[in-house]
């Protein structure tokens, strides 16, 4: 539970850095394609950010150094108190409840879209295929399909609408929106996730509006058509008259940003440096804290046992058996331990192991002892 919530918190931390950078420095620029890639990068990096680990991993290099046999001293440095409250548990259930509600809402909208698809008829106009709907459904697109009621528009208007939605389809804008919806589902409690999702969709409309005008469509006629076709937009679709129309019309009439404005994108390495520096600092703090725990063991009551192990896999097998033994004896399971290992050549190391639900969640090498060193005896 704790691991899940720590992942979610780190995703939200990244969002809280990326979105203000976009909102205050980049959103007013007319480099819409570059903004699209910035927003996509912000989403993907935020999702992957908690998985970046700058701590020292346990690799085959260390396994080979251990040799055989290894003399291991296990010290339990922290254990969960039997019956102690888990403060992460209620937070996790609240979080999962929000995710479930968002997932249900998305599923209902997908079912609504499926109903529209089932009752629509295939059609085409000027070599653009679309699904002809009935009623007053506003034109929109989803993935590779365009939905529009051709009876509601004249020939010229229909051609403009189809061209607009075709650009959304051709540029795979639905992929961006679905990624943003996934992020909003995970970070439903963070306003930055909602604002970033809306920014993705608004930027798509800016891109397509600019492309339509570049194709020679009359600027005034296009703006009047937007006002006429203004309608409801589903969470994951692109509607022709998607709001905010006032901002879209203002962008249509806005001059291109000067080239010097592109220096604003230097915020990208600044944001990355800040986030990565935080991870490095957190990893260093964790390692330092582990070393302090090890140094304070002499002044605390500890539970020491000695084992003969051949390799790191042997260590893992031993830890698994220890967990089973503590559970069967109705004792609180191990949560964190430090293993000190030393082989016959005198190479030793402190291995930090963290458990979550009786499974190994993380392993880190805190320190290596030089051959012949007696510092860890």
pTM over 0.85: no
Residue 148 dihedral angles phi and psi, to the nearest 5°: -160, 150
pLDDT band of residue 266 (cuts 50, 70, 90) is very high
Same domain, 44 and 177: yes
CB 42 within 8 A of CB 18: yes
Backbone angles phi, psi at 167, to 5 degrees: -65, -40
pLDDT tier at 297 (50, 70, 90 boundaries)? very low
292 confidence band (pLDDT: 50, 70, 90) = low
CB-CB contact of 341 with 309 (8 Å): yes
263: in domain: no
Q: Is residue 11 part of a domain?
A: yes
Provide the pLDDT for residue 319.
61
Determine which helix (DSSP H) or strand (DSSP E) holds 294, and give its type and residue range: helix 267-295
Let me know if residue 273 belongs to a domain.
no
Give tens-digit pLDDT for 125-144.
878 999 999 877 789 999 89
- Domain presence at residue 249: yes
- Residue where one domain finishes, among candidates 257, 272, 296: 257
- For 3-29, b where at least 16 C-beta lie within 10 A, e where not — what string? eeeeebebbbbbbebbbebbeebbbeb
Do 207 and 122 lie in a common domain? yes
- Please give the full DSSP string across 87-149, using - where no structure is assigned: THHHHHHHHHHHHHHHHHHHHHHHHHHHHHHHH-EEEEETTEEEEE--TTPPPEEETTEEEE-
Cβ atoms of residues 363 and 329 within 8 Å? no
Count of other CB atoms within 10 angstroms of residue 293: 17
Query: What pLDDT digit, counting tens, does each position of 95-126 carry?
Result: 999 999 999 999 999 999 999 999 999 998 87
Task: Mark whether 112 and 24 lie in a shared domain.
Answer: yes
- Asked if residue 274 belongs to a domain, the reply is no
149 Ramachandran zone, left/alpha/beta (phi>0; psi -120 to 50): beta
Listed residues 257, 292, 310: the one ending a domain = 257
Domain boundary among 211, 242, 257: 257
Asked if residue 327 and residue 181 are part of one domain, the reply reads: no
Same domain flag for 125 and 17: yes
> Residue 205: which domain range?
2-52+89-257
What pLDDT is recorded for position 53? 75
DSSP designation for 368 = E
Q: What is the pLDDT of residue 286?
A: 61
Do residues 240 and 321 both lie within one domain? no
Residue 359 Rama label (left phi>0; alpha psi -120 to 50; beta): beta
pLDDT for the residue numbered 204: 95
Looking at the structure, tell me whether residues 99 and 211 fall in a common domain.
Answer: yes
pLDDT band at 315 (very low <50, low <70, confident <90, very high): low
Predicted pLDDT at 200? 96
Q: Could you tell me which residue, 113 or 83, shows the higher pLDDT?
A: 113
Q: Is 301 left (phi over 0), alpha (psi -120 to 50) or beta?
A: beta
**DSSP structure class, residue 171:** T
Domain count for the chain? 2
Least confident span in 41-55, 149-163, 356-370? 356-370
pLDDT at 101: 95
Residue 266 lies in a domain: no
CB 314 within 8 A of CB 335: no
**Which ranges of 134-234 does DSSP label H, i.e. alpha helix?**
155-170, 173-186, 191-214, 219-228
Are residues 326 and 216 part of one domain?
no
One domain for residues 7 and 152: yes
Please report where in the chains the tokens 């795979």 appear, as a residue.
172
Contact (Cβ atoms closer than 8 angstroms) between residue 25 and residue 286: no
Give domain status of residue 135, yes or no: yes
pLDDT band at 241 (very low <50, low <70, confident <90, very high): confident
Read off the DSSP letter of residue 373: -
Mean pLDDT calculated for residue range 311-323? 56
Q: Do both 44 and 182 map to the same domain? A: yes
Same domain? For 37 and 68 the reply is no
Residues 173 and 290 in one domain: no
Note whether residue 374 is domain-resident. Answer: no
Task: Find out whether 274 and 17 touch, Cβ atoms under 8 Å.
Answer: yes
């Amino acid at each position: 539970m704790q691991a899940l919530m720590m992942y979610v918190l780190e995703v939200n931390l990244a969002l809280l850095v990326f979105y203000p950078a976009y909102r205050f420095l980049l959103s007013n620029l007319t480099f819409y394609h570059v903004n699209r890639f910035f927003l996509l990068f912000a989403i993907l990096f935020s999702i992957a950010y908690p998985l970046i680990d700058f701590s020292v991993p346990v690799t085959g290099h260390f396994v080979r150094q251990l040799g055989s046999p290894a003399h291991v001293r296990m010290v339990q440095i922290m254990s969960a108190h039997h019956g102690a409250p888990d403060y992460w548990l209620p937070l996790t259930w609240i979080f999962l409840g929000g995710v479930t509600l968002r997932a249900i809402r998305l599923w209902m909208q997908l079912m609504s879209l499926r109903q529209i698809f089932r009752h629509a008829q295939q059609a085409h106009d000027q070599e653009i295929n679309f699904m002809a709907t009935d009623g007053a459904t506003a034109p929109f697109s989803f993935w590779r399909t365009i939905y529009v009621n051709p009876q509601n528009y004249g020939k010229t208007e229909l051609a403009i609408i189809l061209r607009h939605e075709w650009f959304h389809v051709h540029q795979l804008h639905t992929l961006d929106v679905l990624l943003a919806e996934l992020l909003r589902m995970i970070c439903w409690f963070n306003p930055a996730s909602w604002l970033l999702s809306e920014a993705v969709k608004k930027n798509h409309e800016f891109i397509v509006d600019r492309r339509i005008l570049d194709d020679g469509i009359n600027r005034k006629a296009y703006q009047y058509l937007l006002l006429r076709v203004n309608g409801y937009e589903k969470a994951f679709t692109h509607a022709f008259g998607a709001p905010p129309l006032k901002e879209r019309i203002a962008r249509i009439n806005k001059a291109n940003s000067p080239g010097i404005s592109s220096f604003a994108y230097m915020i990208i390495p600044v944001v990355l440096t800040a986030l990565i520096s935080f991870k490095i600092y957190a990893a260093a703090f964790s390692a330092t804290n582990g070393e302090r725990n090890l140094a304070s063991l002499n002044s605390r009551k500890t539970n020491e046992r000695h084992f003969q192990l051949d390799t790191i896999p042997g260590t893992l097998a031993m830890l698994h058996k220890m967990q089973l033994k503590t559970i069967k004896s109705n004792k609180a399971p191990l949560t964190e331990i430090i293993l000190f290992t030393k082989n016959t050549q005198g190479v030793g190391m402190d291995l930090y192991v963290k458990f979550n639900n009786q499974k190994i969640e993380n392993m880190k090498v805190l320190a290596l002892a030089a051959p012949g060193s007696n510092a860890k005896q």
